[in-house]
Amino acid sequence: MGKSGSSRGEVRTAVVVGAGVVGLSTAWFLQERGVGVTVLDRADVAAGASWGNAGWLSPGLAIPLNEPGILRYGLRTLVDPRAPLYVPPTPDPELWRFLTVFAAQCRWGPWYRAVRANLPLNRRCLDAFDALTAGGVEEPTTAAPVTAGFRSRRAAIGLIRELRRISDSGLDIDYAVLSGDELRDRLPHASSLVRAGVRIEGQRFVDPGAFTRALAASVRSRGGTIRTGVDVVGLDRDGGGTVAHSRDGERITADVAVAATGAWLSRLAAPRGVRTRVRAGRGYSFTVPTDEPVRCPVYLPEARVACTPYRGGLRIAGTMEFRGPDAPLDGRRIEAIVASARPFLTGVRWAERTDEWVGSRPVTPDGRPLIGASATPGVYVAGGHGMWGLTHGPTSGMLLAEEITTGKRPEALRGCDPRR
């Protein structure tokens, strides 16, 4: 461990900006350490990516986005609105600077650094969820393998190689390669197009919105305050504490402050010396009914689509769209997901879909989250998890609460330094 350098004396109170799974987890684990918390959000609890994501708790598949192959793929499809990775034509110079840095990070050296940085979060992921549910968060997690389906065994090689690389980094992953018939024995919804599969054991899934709301209820029941409709526009040091400034001029003070605002993180973090910028990698999802229940998450890597059992049907999620976080939903992206996933699955009533949603995932250019002290004493950040904010949110909050209350940076957060 190293010294955090951002807290002095005992921390009794904290203001957390952001009522998604990362911010609420940080608040909950601060409460475990005796800190009184106030959580602020400009919209509502689980109003963003914490509601509409796929709901996977999948440390075995939390693979950094900057894998070298994504660059080759992205250059072919970058401006195609039907492609899983899409950047609409835009004059935004900040976005193009971000993408230039991201492209430079799509090499094996930076990718392995991202793998190592995320490794402690993956190892502790499920334990952190168990701590929350044992401590009063009344929404269960469900243990189930993730089953990936492919058109051919050759098509499965890319995922198998990624799993081997992650395993070689130190994360124990239990997986098996299946024939098409073996996969259909376990997943009858797989179509005849699916001729190979990979089954990753030891994973879980959850209803993400319900879990985040249950987490908020637990924070409140333990004496925390959650205020919605409060748009925080600045955080700074004020005497012996910190102050959150709202857009309407209110000042909310505490011993320390945490920015956990997802894709909007840089608005609060950049003025506090966090140089790594976060951009919105927008994902889409919707819900479809199925003729028969689906029992486990389904991954379609060739379509870049994730499917999760959800309220009697399936939640279908996919795409990575680099666009402003508040831009409206683009219906072409939903249609593209349907077109790419439909051939792999049977018994899915695509035309009856509901809950069409778009949300912004906070992406860093180097594949490493930002968790820890900013350059301003008493101001911390937690975010930049990309597609894995739900998977890594609770363990990030647990480790950050340790740093805030002890003044020492956990070794597990070495690779996630916001001031890198």
Give residue-wise pLDDT tens across range 17-41.
999 999 999 999 999 999 999 999 9
Cα–Cα distance measured from residue 214 to residue 136, given in angstroms and rounded to the nearest whole number? 9
Cα–Cα distance measured from residue 265 to residue 286, given in angstroms and rounded to the nearest whole number? 26
Which domain range does residue 7 map to? 2-416
Q: Are strands 251-254 and 256-259 parallel, antiparallel or unpaired?
A: unpaired
Cα–Cα distance measured from residue 44 to residue 24, given in angstroms and rounded to the nearest whole number? 12
Q: Is 166 helix (H, G, I), strand (E, B) or coil?
A: helix
pTM of the model: 0.94
Q: What is the pLDDT of residues 350-393, one digit of tens each?
A: 999 999 999 999 999 999 999 999 999 999 999 999 999 999 99
Q: Looking at residues 126-148, what average pLDDT do you find?
A: 98
**Res 87: pLDDT:** 80
Q: Looking at residues 105-124, what average pLDDT do you find?
A: 96
**Cα-Cα-Cα-Cα dihedral of 129, 44, 36, 407, to 10°?**
60
Mean pLDDT, rounded, of the chain: 94
DSSP state for residue 418 in the 8-state scheme:
T
Please determine, for residue 77, whether its predicted confidence score (pLDDT) is greater than 70. Answer: no
Cα–Cα distance measured from residue 318 to residue 85, given in angstroms and rounded to the nearest whole number? 10
By C-alpha distance, which of 26, 40, 28, 15 is closest to 253? 15
CA 416 from centre of chain? 15
Q: What is the pLDDT of residues 86-109, one digit of tens each?
A: 787 778 899 989 999 999 999 999
Distances (CA, A) of 184 to 130, 147, 199, 342: 31, 10, 12, 16
Q: Where are the beta strands (DSSP E) in 161-278?
A: 175-179, 196-200, 204-205, 225-228, 232-238, 241-246, 251-254, 256-259
Q: Please tell me the total count of domains within the chain.
A: 1
Q: DSSP of 126-156, one letter per residue?
A: HHHHHHHHHTT-----EE--EEEEESSHHHH
Q: Give the domain CATH number at 50.
A: 3.50.50.60
Q: Looking at residues 214-228, what average pLDDT do you find?
A: 98
Sequence-distant contacts of 139-142: CB under 8 A, at least 24 apart? 139/206, 139/207, 139/210, 139/211, 139/213, 139/214, 139/215, 140/206, 141/57, 141/204, 141/205, 141/206, 141/211, 142/204, 142/205, 142/206, 142/309
By C-alpha distance, which of 248, 271, 249 is closest to 257? 271
